[in-house]
Structure 1
């Protein structure tokens, strides 16, 4: 995620910066202050990290955006689109009041703050602003939650890449191999399709009942139900995330109770897919999946949310969960991943990445959903 070949064309970032200022103006804000991380990468292509020191992109409603960064790190901005954008790059050294310089760029009024700013930075900015502050991720959701065409294309490429990894999984799950051995093979396969391995979960038998189990020295046995959840990063920093459930020896070796439960899981996944569309709430999609699982008697064994947003972060808004009354809009991308986990026995999960379309959702994941 460093050199210029990993960036979008400069005009993509210029358009995003202009839209950020426009949205702030429309909402009566003085502007936007964001730190390092995915939001900065979205607007500038920069993945600069300055640790505890403040790096801030300040976007006022009027005038030129300013990127403040420590002089110790400012050279890394050459790896981004910033040298080609109409953004003033301003370095600071220890002893300077970088927070005051950031606030000086803005007129009076409420300010949207980026999600990666630490508590110390937020408190200092709030002290200096003496004005209301709001979360940029939700206040400017059109920027960060609704993906543009360039982003959707990158997420589709990432989904296709991880589909190719999942296609190889059945050949790796053989009796006598360990989860660790399978995970090592998966890491190599992910790197063939991505720039970075984000995570590998190989949860066999009882280990699969822990949704965030990583992998272990447990030896696979014929008939084991195995949860395989994998993801990586590619291109300008967009993530893949895919979960499928397998059986060592093939679906015909599955325990009868697991095979029956998997049918319930598929029905729950399908119900969430049908519910997801513009105008409905995130919690209603979660509820659609959860009701199917509960009616089949597995409600207490579905122990996580139904989905999470994905983009330049693996987990971001919108979160598909109870209590989230966020209304879905076209361009939002998120996972649909119900699961059932029986402690001490097995677990199962089925995950696709979807994008909200004009009248429903389109799955970016195309790997088969059958137990195999």
Structure 2
């Protein structure tokens, strides 16, 4: 059905599974290519089976937020030995490329290689720098670590617990140039070759380093370095999995507390409360009702929920610095949704399923976006899927690589992405479904929410 057409027939939340039977028959009659036909029919069969199953099996079962705290109670932060392995991997790349060192300031990359995050060291005009450089010792490449710190902050810097086989701290006084001090620490080791810097490093620091060493090439770290963080370890995937699972459980718990007439702001407070009970930090939530959801990142208003409204919740947080990002668009049992909007929901669900099937080791990132976009375009929604399909997720909630048209990255095992197709018809409706996934050792995509059911079952059962 075209997005600009209008159908007045309402569909109640209780009968929403029956509504899909009609759309199932319609879809399976479409003359699509063999791959799409098989994927669509399989998806429809699966959804119909689950949507007609006992609804009690999908109930949250929590008394308010009781029980959410237990879901990730066994989660553990990344240990020092894993960070040492990361440093060794980086040192080998530096050595093979003839690079002198890698420099990062507090943030995701310094956290990955040295356990220095923005949460533990606030960025300011006074630079604190993590430097990792390779040393050849008895035919082995060893990573050495130096932390450049303001002199009056040296004691605090030493308390950061930076892992390393050998970690040294070099301080700079207020009347010294920190960049000259940093380069002097490197030149004392008689290293040669370019210096790689964190691609997100602030410009004034890069400029300061270059002015301190005009004869040295200061350049952004190459793909070999950035791919280290892009390919998650099992420990990282365990944290991502638990964070995303419990975020979905929070959304379901909030749905059970909602009612017609509730305000968006009330639901935002509820989801934050649930995420906090689950143990997540750096929490955030986007809650949009009805036509407000047609603006993907919010409308700035605070309206009440009507029976004819879909509810969109996009939420996340951090578990030991690893992020979750889950979106559900759903209804309540006493909702009465226009058939047109219900049809859009199922079309978005099929798009998400097709993208998931296309995401494999060796696939091109743009091809995964195309799998979802081609389906939605063919269903008459061309121009209404207004953003990329997905982004990488890990220490940052949005990080490389990205699933979007125009990219040419190859998907690798250990990569983790969001898969979030959506249709946005301003003034009418916005529907987005988002689950993050990773590529396992067999090269297949696995939803990070699989342990708690994975994809939404239907509009009524998110």
TM-score (norm 1): 0.92
| Number of corresponding residues | 366
Partner of 1:13: 83
Partner of 1:299: 382
Whether contact under 8 Å (1:7, 1:45) holds in the other structure is no
**Offset of 1:8 from its aligned partner?**
2.7
2:243 is aligned, of 149, 154, 158, to 158
Whether 2:328 is the aligned partner of 1:244: answer yes
Whether contact under 8 Å (2:100, 2:134) holds in the other structure is yes
Segments ≥4 residues shifted beyond 4 Å? none
Whether contact under 8 Å (2:312, 2:431) holds in the other structure is yes
Aligned pairs for 1:89-104 within 5 A: 89-104=169-184
**Offset of 1:82 from its aligned partner?**
1.4
Change over 3 Å in CA distance of 1:222–1:33 after alignment to 2: same
Change over 3 Å in CA distance of 1:347–1:25 after alignment to 2: same
Partner of 2:268: 183
Which one is further off, 79-88 or 90-99?
79-88
SS class of match (2:251): helix
SS class of match (2:380): coil
SS class of match (2:402): strand
Higher-RCO chain (CA-CA 8 Å, sequence separation at least 6): 2
Whether 2:110 is the aligned partner of 1:40: answer yes
Partner of 1:49: 122
**Offset of 1:156 from its aligned partner?**
1.2
Q: Which consecutive unaligned segments of at least 5 residues does structure 1 have?
A: none
Whether 2:169 is the aligned partner of 1:169: answer no
2:192 is aligned, of 98, 108, 113, to 108
Change over 3 Å in CA distance of 1:110–1:298 after alignment to 2: same
**Offset of 1:6 from its aligned partner?**
6.9
**Offset of 1:136 from its aligned partner?**
2.8
Partner of 1:205: 290
Q: Distance in 1 between matches of 2:152 and 2:163?
A: 17
Change over 3 Å in CA distance of 1:39–1:53 after alignment to 2: same
Whether 2:296 is the aligned partner of 1:223: answer no
Q: Distance in 2 between matches of 1:200 and 1:341?
A: 19
Partner of 1:23: 93
Change over 3 Å in CA distance of 1:130–1:277 after alignment to 2: farther
Q: Deviations for 1:237-257, whole angstroms, at most 9, x for unmatched residues?
A: 11111001112446x622111
SS class of match (2:228): helix
Whether contact under 8 Å (1:67, 1:87) holds in the other structure is yes
SS class of match (2:274): helix
Whether contact under 8 Å (1:278, 1:328) holds in the other structure is yes
Whether 2:132 is the aligned partner of 1:59: answer yes
Change over 3 Å in CA distance of 1:136–1:192 after alignment to 2: farther
Q: Which consecutive unaligned segments of at least 5 residues does structure 2 have?
A: 1-74, 136-142
SS class of match (1:65): strand
Q: Distance in 2 between matches of 1:224 and 1:207?
A: 10
SS class of match (2:383): helix
Whether contact under 8 Å (2:360, 2:443) holds in the other structure is yes
Q: Distance in 2 between matches of 1:344 and 1:9?
A: 49
Partner of 2:412: 329
Aligned pairs for 1:212-361 within 5 A: 212-213=297-298, 216-235=301-320, 237-249=321-333, 253-357=336-440, 358-361=442-445
**Offset of 1:31 from its aligned partner?**
2.1
**Offset of 1:137 from its aligned partner?**
7.1
TM-score (norm 2): 0.75
Q: Deviations for 1:210-253, whole angstroms, at most 9, x for unmatched residues?
A: 11117742111112011100001122x11111001112446x62
Q: Distance in 1 between matches of 2:318 and 2:250?
A: 13
Whether contact under 8 Å (2:313, 2:327) holds in the other structure is yes
CA RMSD of aligned residues (A): 2.1
